[in-house]
Amino acid sequence: MQVSCEKLWVEQTSSVGQRPALREAIEFCREGDVFVVTKLDRLARSVRHLGEIVEELEAKGVGLRILDLGLDTSNATGKLMLNVLGSVAQFEREMMLERQREGIAKARAEGKYRGRKPTAMAKTEDVRHLLSTGKSKRSIALDLSSSERSVHRICAQLRL
């Protein structure tokens, strides 16, 4: 199926990160527009979040179309299906996270899970050196490609 759109936004972020492209896309919409997304799980992170997005679009007089589901919220059936499918998607995500937590707990109990290697703490000496040159914690974080929080944590450990 081919769909023509006036403007296209692409965004790749973590499940908890800010989504500036989504915000910009919604703000771009005008009354009578149709907001098109490829997949439901790419749009919203929960049923509540989906409801907020749909409510915002409806307030602007904008329809929602989800391509992989062939779903259009311009009618009552489409709205019902969107809510049902949104609930199913959230349920699937919660089940996946539950299985992941169970797997991690089992691996820990068996001594096989060590978690992610703490990369920031390996930069302790670099942080110490850069602090001694008078650099700010923010610029140190940028120089070392670390977060400011990691630099602060290292400083607290060093009691600096």
Six-digit token pair at 21? 């492209």
pLDDT of residue 62 exceeding 80, the answer is yes
Asked if 105 and 124 sit in the same domain, the reply is: no
Q: What CATH number has the domain bearing residue 34?
A: 3.40.50.1390
The rounded Cα 71 to chain-centroid distance in angstroms is 23
Give the pLDDT mean for 36-62.
Answer: 87
Instruction: State the chain's mean pLDDT as an integer.
Output: 86
Looking at the chain, the whole-number percentage of residues with pLDDT higher than 70 is 97
Count how many domains the chain has: 2
* Listed range (29-33, 45-49, 52-56) with the worst mean pLDDT: 45-49
CA distance 124 to 128: 6
Residue numbers of the domain that contains 78? 20-109
Asked whether residue 9 is domain-assigned, the answer is no
pLDDT of residue 4 exceeding 90, the answer is no
Asked if 35 and 99 sit in the same domain, the reply is: yes
CA distance 83 to 77: 10
Asked if 99 and 150 sit in the same domain, the reply is: no
Per-residue pLDDT of 64-106, as tens digits, reads 999 988 888 888 888 888 888 888 888 888 899 999 999 999 9
pLDDT of residue 1 exceeding 70, the answer is no
Beta bridge partners of 71: 66
Asked whether residue 35 is domain-assigned, the answer is yes
